[in-house]
Amino acid sequence: MKFIVSSSALLKQLQTISGVLSTNNTLAILDYLLFESKDGKLIISGSDLETTMTTTLTPEKVEEDGKIAMPARLLLDTVKTFPDQPLTFTIDKEVFGIEISSDNGRYKLSGQDGDEFPKSPEIENSNTAEIDSGILFNAINKTGFAAGNDDLRPVMSGVLFEIGEKESTFVATDAHKLVRYKRSDVKGTKAASFIMPKKPLNLIKNITSSMDVTVKMEYNDTNAKFYIDDLTILSRLIDGKYPNYDAVIPKENPNVLTVDRKALLNSVRRVSIFSNKTTHQVRFKMAGSELNISAEDVDYQNEAAERLTASYDGEDLSIGFNSRFLIEMLNNLETDTVLLRMSQPNRAGLLIPDETEDNEDVLMLVMPVMIGS
């Protein structure tokens, strides 16, 4: 098996695919990347058993088809050091020896049998949907931060994809905050829902951040596969039933605060420095067209208060929120103005952008922190 490939083209693919590798693998072969030459193409795969990423590139020359597993870290560290030049890979199939020849010299490394690399499952009885890469990036970016990290509740550590025939919804929650992102321009072959883990979503987010392509999604009850240009990402889904998120979104919210997003974000950031380090509580007090934001840490006698000009429609209200959740949410919204819809001090508040794109509906929910007397 022998092929010649551009060092810069190879490096780009290796850097992309190395994101899937884990540092504490249970199988030694997972520290390797699978290289397969077939029909003039070079297919490179990396896996951590839960997620498999595959990329295809066209080498300058392929002399013989075959497959071999190459040590990922050693290969990446080596290829990184070359200026752009052709690299010749010669593989001895008998002992899985790899020789790399460059303009400067020769390098030998030891590989493994490519047949030992875990096989990717086929997705049978699948549904499909197509989504613009920019929309997929937004869906992950707007929801992913709200997913939980609790191993005891694995379903809440991922993002729910509800692909419908007329619209699709993406949801993430950790029981303290919730984000629901709807798109009327994303439709599937038939209605289906699945829970995607965070790691493959972050890989997809990084890849789609600077792309403008159509992404094909293929999914069944156990796996989902994303086809992104010359890359595919196959992920095992989180098994379980997602909580009924609709039931926790309060329907009647007569008290509405309209405020400049950046002004509110900066104010909460400053005031929260003086908040209790356990609850991170900031208090919103609304009366007339004025919003008072305050925080205190009784243990250290720290306190801060600010006044913001805002538009408020509703009864006078005092409500506490966790500042870290508010900061995350305000950071993930892009509009100049946001609406905070509330009902009572012990009910969740809804943070909604003042304007959204066509076909887009964003709702963020934050649970209150009870205010002590």
Question: What does the DSSP assignment read for 252-274?
Answer: ---EEEEEEHHHHHHHHHHHHTT
Tell me the C-alpha distance between 295 and 371, whole Å: 11
At 4 the pLDDT is 95
User: Could you tell me the domains of the chain?
Assistant: 2-116 (3.10.150.10), 127-246 (3.10.150.10), 249-366 (3.10.150.10)
| Residue 274 to residue 169: CA distance in whole angstroms | 37
Residue 356 or 212, more confident? 212
Sheet containing 302-309: give its strands across.
Answer: 302-309, 290-297, 281-287, 317-322
- Find all residues with CB under 8 Å of 277, minimum gap 6, and list them: 297
The three-state secondary structure class of 94 is coil
Q: What is the pLDDT of residue 88?
A: 97
Q: Which of 278, 341, 329, 274 is nearest to 306 (CA)?
A: 274
E strands present in 39-134: 41-47, 51-57, 61-64, 66-71, 86-92, 97-101, 106-110, 112-113, 127-132
Query: CA 105 to CA 297: how far, in whole Å?
Result: 64
d(CA 275, CA 265) in angstroms, rounded, equals 15
pLDDT band at 372 (very low <50, low <70, confident <90, very high): low
Give the pLDDT band of residue 373 (cuts 50, 70, 90). very low
pLDDT tens readout for residues 286-320:
988 889 999 999 999 999 999 999 999 999 999 99
The stretch 350-356 carries a mean pLDDT of 92
Amino acid at 241: K
pLDDT at 355: 84
DSSP 343: S
pLDDT at 288 (0 to 100): 83
| pLDDT higher than 70, residue 167 | yes
Q: Do 54 and 38 form a contact (C-beta atoms < 8 A)?
A: no
Residue 124 in this model has a pLDDT that exceeds 60: yes
Write the pLDDT tens digit of every residue in 213-272: 999 999 999 999 999 999 999 999 999 999 999 999 999 999 999 999 999 999 999 999
Computed over every residue of the chain, the mean pLDDT equals 95
Percentage of the chain lying above the pLDDT 90 cut: 92
- Residue 357's pLDDT band, with cuts at 50, 70 and 90, is confident
Q: Contact 265/327 with Cβ under 8 angstroms? A: yes
DSSP letter for 115, please. G
Nearest-5° angle of CA 300, CA 306, CA 307? 155
Phi and psi for 161 in degrees, rounded to 5? -105, 115
For 15-47, what is each residue's pLDDT tens digit?
999 999 998 888 999 999 999 999 999 999 999
Inform me whether the pLDDT recorded for 358 exceeds 90.
no
Share of the chain residues as helix, strand and coil, in percent rounded to the nearest 5: 25, 45, 35
Range name among 2-6, 151-155, 172-176, 355-359 with the lowest pLDDT average: 355-359
